[in-house]
Structure 1
Amino acid sequence: MPAVIDRVSAPIAYLLHLADNALVLGQRNAEWCGHAPTIEEDMSMANNSLDLIGQARLLYQYVAERMNAEGRTTRPSAWPAGPITEDTLAYFRDVPDFLNYTLLELPHSPALVPMGVGNRDWATTIVRNWLYSQLMVMVWERLQACGDERLAAIAAKSLKEVRYHLRHSRDWLVRLGDGTDESHRRMQDAVDHLLPYTSEFWAASPTEAGAIAAGCGVDVPALRAEWDAAVDAALQEATLRRPPEAKHYVTEGKRGVHSEHLGYLLNELQGLARQHPGAVW
């Protein structure tokens, strides 16, 4: 396990997993600002990003409070002095310390090329948001009833937002999948490219197991049948097909093992804070 995560309990690491998912996808979706296909979608994607980053903030604030209360003093020297804050956790952890799903860090392109002019593929973004939001509606619904009152409150707020994210992305999935030959082809390419990465949802991890044992986690593998049914129904409505099952490597982002793309994303996200640590304005 990553060095920083080694120093926290499973329930805290689970909170970081939820927060990292929201932060990384929020950062990815924010890359559409000024580049979406319509003005309305430019605003929609910006609001989606703000929702996700807001979820991340609430979770990071809770993690910081718990870490400070536990008096954990052994931490990376690169972290700013003083109490741990949400900014410490968002801006001063390195790639191996992030516990987000690999799916969420991938570029907006089925070619897996770094971000650049012409590399934003709307189909890839829509399919990723749909696959993830379909899962998180189920996760946040269950976390509303968890034994951690603070996390339950965050879940209740997040559920309202992610329900909209799911509706937005599913509507686009159907509109483009059952649209022109070109839009159908591109949506199918995105589904073929991204669906295998969802295998990570169902892989067990010590962090999730520990959180479940503590009464503040969700047994995500147990959600697979429900998630599959919802995904299959949406694909059918969009006239898209599920790609054939094939043996492939199961990504391990939630264990801290990431693709090369997360480093580029964090460099963009964290650059200013690391150049001017402690700066305020």
Structure 2
Amino acid sequence: MDSRGRRASDDPQGESLSELLRSWRSRSDPRAFPGLMVPGRRSVGLSQRDVARLTGVSERWYGSLERGNEANYSADFLDRLSSVLQLSRAERHVLYLRAIGRPPALAAVPETDAASEMDDILQQFLDSQSPNPAYVSDLAWNVIGHNEPLRDWFPWAAHQANLMRWVFLSREAREQLVNWREDWARPYLGQIRYARVHYPQNEALRRLERDILAGSPDLQKIWDRCEVYEHANGGVRRLKLPCHRGREVVVRITALRPMGSDRLRVIVLMESRRGAASG
């Protein structure tokens, strides 16, 4: 039954969102997702808890969607969900229509040339940063490479991930990034403005700016301050992630660029036991 108690056969539009999501979960193999399979597990398909973890939201939040409850589900979250459930283009379209009543916009994708610069050596560097989370992004903050600790901290990063879209368009980011407005939103908007000035013809950056401001109108006041920030290096930030079980974690952000590329950023989150947010 859907949120109004009707079965699919009673609905001229077909299956409810609840029925669709349960079916899509059931066909997914938990063995395809590192860290989900544990000794003795016999369940077939992904559980609600699995999907919540892989998309970076609470089990309660995902459960609300699956029950058909109306809420402000972001495009970023729906795209991560589409990727986790390996939905086809048509299924992703139906998910959007059922969840928020409109079709999806074109998904942001990494620049082809930038993505091609992500090679085995760079991946080995990311892996060598363990236990610190590390990732590589392109000019528009699409995550094109990451290590296993990053997936543990931010499970959404493995699924059509864009850092800025998650920070600004997902509800959970405002809960997981401590002092979201001052320590994260303001500097990140300033970094987007800085990148837009340096790469005015970059369509991915132009679309990123437009989508963020349109998807989160309360950010316009911050944007109108015209603050400009370079990409943070050495800045200290605080996180409160599900994987830390409620413990607040302080990280120092280290930003690097590979030699020979002006389109990639390498970011390492170095956990610290002390320090206040800065930079």
TM-score, normalised to structure 2, is 0.32
Q: Which has the higher contact order (CA 8 A, sep 6+)?
A: 1
Question: Higher helix share goes to which structure?
Answer: 1
Point out the structure with the larger strand share: 2
Report the structure number with the largest CA radius of gyration.
Answer: 2
